[in-house]
Chains A and B, each alone.
Chain A
Amino acid sequence: MDVIHLLVVELSRFQFALTALYHFMFVPLTLGLTFILAAMETAYVITGKEIYKDMTQFWGKLFGINFAIGVATGLTMEFEFGTNWSMYSRFFGDIFGTPLAIEGLMAFFMESTFIGLMFFGWDRLSRGAHLAVTYIVALGSNISALWILVANACMNMPAGAHFDPETMRLTSTSFVALVFNPDAQAKAVHTSVAGFVTASMFVMGISAFYLLRKQHREFAARSFRMAALFGIISTIAVITLGDVLGRLDYEHQPTKVAAMEGLWETSKPPYEPWILFGIPNDKKQTNYLEVGVPFVLTPLLTHDFKTPILGIKELQIQAGPKIESGIQAVSALKRYSENHQQTDLDIFKTHQKDMGYGFLASQYAPDQDVTKIKSEHIPTIVKKTKSDIYPNVFVTFWAFRIMVFLAIYFFIVFAMASYVSLRREIEKHRIFLKIISWSIPLPFIASEFGWITAEVGRQPWTIFEILPTVISSSTHSSGYMIFSLIGFLLLYSIFIAAELFLMFKFARLGPQIHQEQTSSLQTIFTYQKG
């Protein structure tokens, strides 16, 4: 029987989540560090001071280690749409494939070609030309992220597409609507600046480590100062764009917002609190141990004090008729594909907007075929499907909170770091330096949880309200999935071990300070050979 095994769908989701989160450990640092490198090299070209060249080369080396795995794991992502999400790729490829291909054409090619020159071209290019190459790499990696997020945005907020019953897929109608999808624009900037925050913390943290050990002091102090200033600007941008995104989600993805905020019941403005702590229970549809700040939630999301925000229970009630209508739509669509009768097409057209809910219900239909649902069973199937229309609240709620709490923490740390380092007092605050060097992993964690918020929050859909995850995957056997999962787990564990080992090794080793230093400086530096 031609049916999708739900276990395979779960395993495919697990594998995709695993590989995407893994890939996303390397991306933010790449996005940010390229611009920090460009800034350092600009300082070198303008001032002519060798120390800035040393800074560029040292941080460049760490960048290289990170970039290699970023590229390697990115390959996986591009292949997985085809290998594991066949139905999704076929259904959405006309739209979704476009930004991915453009990413390759426009950005990835540029970034990867010039990165070779960035590392190998120091002696072969003039200072100006090399600086231009570094900027091209920085731009390339961020444009790359832009296109990937254009692709991501059309999953979250489909635009510039309509469903064509002849080809059984979404058809591209507007390239402009695809690219200028507001979700894409906001997400791209949010992600890039999150990368800047990550890289700033990375540079600041390692510099703090040198300052604590009184090594490479001038080098570290300069790197620290640049990173702190870069970091505070980026953190402000991250928070601002995060607010924009929250509002977009509120307008377009009510289930995601309800899950992020742990809202089971529709909110009561203006008093409704923003929950600081709580343990959402998905089975009982309630939050335990809830602690919140009153009067915050409504203005935070809606930017006014009156509008109520729909809770999950109310969204479920609203979904009921949509599911029924969706079952009609999918049944008519199937009959149409078999007989090509105009009457079926007309029925489909009247229910078309709820098609996704029909697909979502198909997992409960006999043989996964909605045309086989007997009319007396429709209420039970609608009831079952209703429990699937929202994401896992516990995960979405906490992923969102961890990201937000960390963002606030970054703001405080970067603000203090900028203040003390501009006053040239940073070396006096040893405890602060220690805190900073221990904070290096935090932006990575925040980025990962941001990704989890966005993508777990999108469930149960791969294309929001159009194609559910349960029918998006390939029709493999679970044996295939176990094979690939074991492979990824093994390989990726080796990678992370090698990466961390090399990162620590080269970070400990420190920069190779150039020979043409002033003699006074040379005595200060504990010179280590790399």
Chain B
Amino acid sequence: MEYYVIIKLIWAVILCVLFIGLGLMVGMDMGVGILLRFVGKNDIERRTTLNIIGPHWEGNQVWFILGAGAIFAAFPTLYATAFSVFYVVMILMLFSMILRPVAFEYRSKIDQGFWRTSWDWIFLISGFFPMFVCGAAFGNILQGVGYHFIWNGQYFQDESFWSYLINPFAILCGLLSVSLSIFQGGMMLMIRSEDPIYSRAKKYATMAAIVATCLFIVGGIWIFQIKGFVLASGDPAMSPNPLFGQHVITYKGAWLHNYYDYPILWSLPIWGILCMLGAVLMAQSNKPACGWWIGLGIWIGVIGTVGAAMFPFFMPSTTAPDQSLTIWNSCGSLYGLICMAILVCIFVPIILSYTSWCFYVMRGKVKTASIIKDHHSY
């Protein structure tokens, strides 16, 4: 195999890893944000909830930034097209994302009811919406998006943004990612809180895991009915220009053809479902730390399932299927990809180790009394 194909594949895997990191870490914080109003019934309980992820949310959020940055560097055509095609949704997500840091920093700085309640609502919205949109984006992508390119590589959009928001399958995918994040947030809260937050978090996490299992199974069945895409011809080593070199066919249920060709892939969705069931069990049997790690398993299962179905597509086009963005035609140059891959292999382990160290330093239950005393807390 050519080096170029190998490095393209390596980057597809790196992207999956970053998405798993994003889902797990950002999802956890978002989940805590969503649960804030429900697990904390009064101000001090809510402050406790916030301080559980207080020392970590800034670091976790960088997964989001790194995810976008990695797509930019490794798959520039995908970055340029996907972000523009989903403009309105992306901007709405951005608005809710940028409210979060401000909410953290400002909420507890002023002791006034209306001020704090407003920020609590912002936590709810800014936790729910980004996770929903990320999931829904995958839902839309699975159904194909209307765009085409002209000779100089400029994209043009062929449909209105409403179709991305009002779209039942996309809503299902959005809710799946929201429920996974609620579960993950619930686990974190259980690890670092005491009653009554603990038992409330337990209740919501269990519910979220059950909902996620159902949504995942329903989505899996739904996929049979969706018009999928298959790359009929296209050289994996092609020079990355979406205008040339691909022929794509579409038919109902086509997303499953990778599974028919390689039955071993069925282990991914099965693994995902097993992890979700295990998650319910762990939440119920008061083992939040195990539950948190099972959350990692769930994300691997979910992203693996979607990735295996779509391979090698990133964003299929409904109006110009031959110009669909795939791993082969949307990536950077060989040289650029190699440089970046080396850097990722050096830095991701370093990041993981200092992130773990930070969690280790801040370990233990967050106590209400210490929050009142410490003027640094949120």
Which DSSP category, helix, strand, loop or mixed, fits chain B's interface?
helix
A293 to B351 alpha-carbon distance, docked (Å): 54
Interface readout for A23-59 with B: 1 if CB under 8 Å, 0 if not?
0000000000000000000000000000000000100
Contact of B362 among A71, A90, A120 (CB under 8 A): A120
For the complex formed, measure the closest distance between the CB of A176 and the CB atoms of chain B, giving whole angstroms.
Answer: 10
Contact of A476 among B84, B335, B355 (CB under 8 A): B84
**B332:A112 contact, CB within 8 angstroms:** no
Interface readout for A503-519 with B: 1 if CB under 8 Å, 0 if not?
00110000010000000
Q: Does A483 have its Cβ within 8 Å of any Cβ on chain B?
A: yes
Specify the chain A residue showing the minimal Cβ separation from B79.
Answer: A82
Q: Does B68 have its Cβ within 8 Å of any Cβ on chain A?
A: yes
Given contacts A86-B155, A167-B239, A173-B335, contact A116 B54 (CB under 8 A): yes
Given contacts A101-B69, A175-B339, A495-B102, contact A476 B87 (CB under 8 A): yes
Q: Does A288 have its Cβ within 8 Å of any Cβ on chain B?
A: no
Q: Does A68 have its Cβ within 8 Å of any Cβ on chain B?
A: yes
A513 to B148 alpha-carbon distance, docked (Å): 63
- Segment of B55-63, B185-193, B214-222, B255-263 engaged in the interface with chain A: B55-63
**B333:A94 contact, CB within 8 angstroms:** yes
**A113:B358 contact, CB within 8 angstroms:** yes
For the complex formed, measure the closest distance between the CB of B29 and the CB atoms of chain A, giving whole angstroms.
Answer: 12
**A101:B375 contact, CB within 8 angstroms:** no
**B68:A82 contact, CB within 8 angstroms:** yes
**Which residues of chain B have C-beta atoms less than 8 A from A98's C-beta?**
73, 336, 339-340
For the complex formed, measure the closest distance between the CB of B193 and the CB atoms of chain A, giving whole angstroms.
Answer: 16
**A474:B98 contact, CB within 8 angstroms:** no
Given contacts A82-B72, A169-B76, contact A87 B361 (CB under 8 A): no
Q: Does A412 have its Cβ within 8 Å of any Cβ on chain B?
A: no
Interface readout for B289-300 with A: 1 if CB under 8 Å, 0 if not?
000000000000
Given contacts A86-B83, A105-B347, A109-B59, contact A483 B151 (CB under 8 A): no
Q: Does B168 have its Cβ within 8 Å of any Cβ on chain A?
A: no
**Which residues of chain B have C-beta atoms less than 8 A from A446's C-beta?**
none
Contact of A101 among B73, B109, B150 (CB under 8 A): B73
Given contacts A72-B100, A94-B76, A101-B69, contact A79 B90 (CB under 8 A): yes
Q: Which of B256-302 contact A (CB under 8 A)?
A: none
Q: Does B224 have its Cβ within 8 Å of any Cβ on chain A?
A: no
Specify the chain B residue showing the minimal Cβ separation from A106.
Answer: B347
Q: Does A7 have its Cβ within 8 Å of any Cβ on chain B?
A: no
**Which residues of chain A have C-beta atoms less than 8 A from B59's C-beta?**
109, 112-116
Q: Does B201 have its Cβ within 8 Å of any Cβ on chain A?
A: no
For the complex formed, measure the closest distance between the CB of A141 and the CB atoms of chain B, giving whole angstroms.
Answer: 12
User: What's the count of A-B pairs with C-beta under 8 Å?
Assistant: 268
Q: Does A378 have its Cβ within 8 Å of any Cβ on chain B?
A: no
A471 to B151 alpha-carbon distance, docked (Å): 13
**B77:A90 contact, CB within 8 angstroms:** yes
**Which residues of chain B have C-beta atoms less than 8 A from A338's C-beta?**
151
Contact of A2 among B62, B156, B343 (CB under 8 A): B156
**Which residues of chain B have C-beta atoms less than 8 A from A175's C-beta?**
335, 339
**Which residues of chain B have C-beta atoms less than 8 A from A57's C-beta?**
376
Contact of A116 among B55, B77, B105, B110 (CB under 8 A): B55
Q: Does B175 have its Cβ within 8 Å of any Cβ on chain A?
A: no
Specify the chain B residue showing the minimal Cβ separation from A69.
Answer: B102
Specify the chain B residue showing the minimal Cβ separation from A98.
Answer: B73
A76 to B65 alpha-carbon distance, docked (Å): 10
Specify the chain A residue showing the minimal Cβ separation from B105.
Answer: A68
**Which residues of chain B have C-beta atoms less than 8 A from A172's C-beta?**
332-333, 335-336, 339
For the complex formed, measure the closest distance between the CB of B41 and the CB atoms of chain A, giving whole angstroms.
Answer: 24
For the complex formed, measure the closest distance between the CB of B109 and the CB atoms of chain A, giving whole angstroms.
Answer: 6
Q: Which of B177-196 contact A (CB under 8 A)?
A: none
**A483:B88 contact, CB within 8 angstroms:** yes
**Which residues of chain A have C-beta atoms less than 8 A from B72's C-beta?**
78, 81-82, 89, 93, 96-97, 100-101
Given contacts A2-B154, A337-B243, A502-B109, contact A108 B98 (CB under 8 A): no
**Which residues of chain A have C-beta atoms less than 8 A from B151's C-beta?**
168, 334, 337-338
A84 to B91 alpha-carbon distance, docked (Å): 10
For the complex formed, measure the closest distance between the CB of A162 and the CB atoms of chain B, giving whole angstroms.
Answer: 10
**Which residues of chain A have C-beta atoms less than 8 A from B100's C-beta?**
72
Give how many A residues have a beta carbon under 8 Å from the other chain's beta carbons: 87
**A474:B87 contact, CB within 8 angstroms:** yes
For the complex formed, measure the closest distance between the CB of B91 and the CB atoms of chain A, giving whole angstroms.
Answer: 5
Contact of B73 among A76, A97, A114, A480 (CB under 8 A): A97
**A95:B105 contact, CB within 8 angstroms:** no
**Which residues of chain B have C-beta atoms less than 8 A from A173's C-beta?**
335
**A90:B98 contact, CB within 8 angstroms:** no
Q: Does B70 have its Cβ within 8 Å of any Cβ on chain A?
A: yes
Interface readout for A134-175 with B: 1 if CB under 8 Å, 0 if not?
000000000000000000000000000000101111011101
**A112:B68 contact, CB within 8 angstroms:** no
Q: Does A296 have its Cβ within 8 Å of any Cβ on chain B?
A: no
A495 to B84 alpha-carbon distance, docked (Å): 26
Q: Does A498 have its Cβ within 8 Å of any Cβ on chain B?
A: yes
Given contacts A83-B83, A124-B361, contact A168 B104 (CB under 8 A): no
For the complex formed, measure the closest distance between the CB of A338 and the CB atoms of chain B, giving whole angstroms.
Answer: 7
**A115:B58 contact, CB within 8 angstroms:** yes
Given contacts A86-B81, A120-B377, A476-B87, contact A112 B154 (CB under 8 A): no
**B333:A89 contact, CB within 8 angstroms:** no
A71 to B100 alpha-carbon distance, docked (Å): 10
**Which residues of chain A have C-beta atoms less than 8 A from B88's C-beta?**
480, 483-484
**B102:A498 contact, CB within 8 angstroms:** yes
Q: Does B82 have its Cβ within 8 Å of any Cβ on chain A?
A: yes
**Which residues of chain B have C-beta atoms less than 8 A from A97's C-beta?**
69, 72-74, 76, 79, 332
A333 to B152 alpha-carbon distance, docked (Å): 9
**A93:B80 contact, CB within 8 angstroms:** yes
A91 to B332 alpha-carbon distance, docked (Å): 10
**A72:B101 contact, CB within 8 angstroms:** yes
Q: Does B240 have its Cβ within 8 Å of any Cβ on chain A?
A: yes
For the complex formed, measure the closest distance between the CB of B87 and the CB atoms of chain A, giving whole angstroms.
Answer: 5
Q: Does A182 have its Cβ within 8 Å of any Cβ on chain B?
A: no
**Which residues of chain A have C-beta atoms less than 8 A from B154's C-beta?**
2, 4, 86-87, 90, 471, 475
**Which residues of chain B have C-beta atoms less than 8 A from A120's C-beta?**
54-55, 362, 374, 376-377
**A79:B376 contact, CB within 8 angstroms:** no
**Which residues of chain A have C-beta atoms less than 8 A from B207's C-beta?**
none
A471 to B155 alpha-carbon distance, docked (Å): 12
Q: Does A275 have its Cβ within 8 Å of any Cβ on chain B?
A: no
Q: Which of B223-274 contact A (CB under 8 A)?
A: 239-241, 243
**A82:B66 contact, CB within 8 angstroms:** no
Q: Does B94 have its Cβ within 8 Å of any Cβ on chain A?
A: yes
**B95:A104 contact, CB within 8 angstroms:** no
Q: Does A102 have its Cβ within 8 Å of any Cβ on chain B?
A: yes
Q: Does A110 have its Cβ within 8 Å of any Cβ on chain B?
A: yes
**A110:B354 contact, CB within 8 angstroms:** yes
**B98:A72 contact, CB within 8 angstroms:** yes
Question: What are 18 A-B interface contacts by the 8 Å CB criterion?
Answer: A2-B156, A73-B98, A84-B84, A86-B155, A90-B154, A93-B73, A97-B79, A97-B332, A98-B73, A112-B61, A113-B354, A113-B358, A117-B358, A121-B55, A167-B240, A471-B154, A476-B157, A512-B375
In addition to A72-B99, A113-B351, A167-B241, 12 A-B residue pairs with Cβ atoms within 8 Å of each other are: A68-B102, A72-B102, A79-B90, A87-B154, A91-B153, A97-B69, A97-B76, A104-B62, A110-B351, A120-B377, A121-B55, A175-B335
> Which residues of chain A have a CB within 8 Å of any CB of chain B?
2, 4, 57, 61, 64-65, 67-69, 71-76, 78-79, 81-98, 100-106, 108-110, 112-117, 119-125, 164, 166-169, 171-173, 175, 333-334, 337-338, 471, 474-476, 480, 483-484, 487, 491, 495, 498, 502, 505-506, 512, 530
9 nearest A-B pairs in the assembled complex, by CB-CB distance:
A93-B76, A82-B83, A97-B73, A116-B55, A113-B59, A68-B105, A97-B72, A90-B80, A101-B69
> Which residues of chain B have a CB within 8 Å of any CB of chain A?
54-59, 61-62, 64-66, 68-70, 72-74, 76-77, 79-84, 87-88, 90-91, 94-95, 97-102, 104-106, 109-110, 150-157, 161, 239-241, 243, 332-333, 335-336, 339-340, 343-344, 347-348, 351, 354-355, 358, 361-362, 374-377
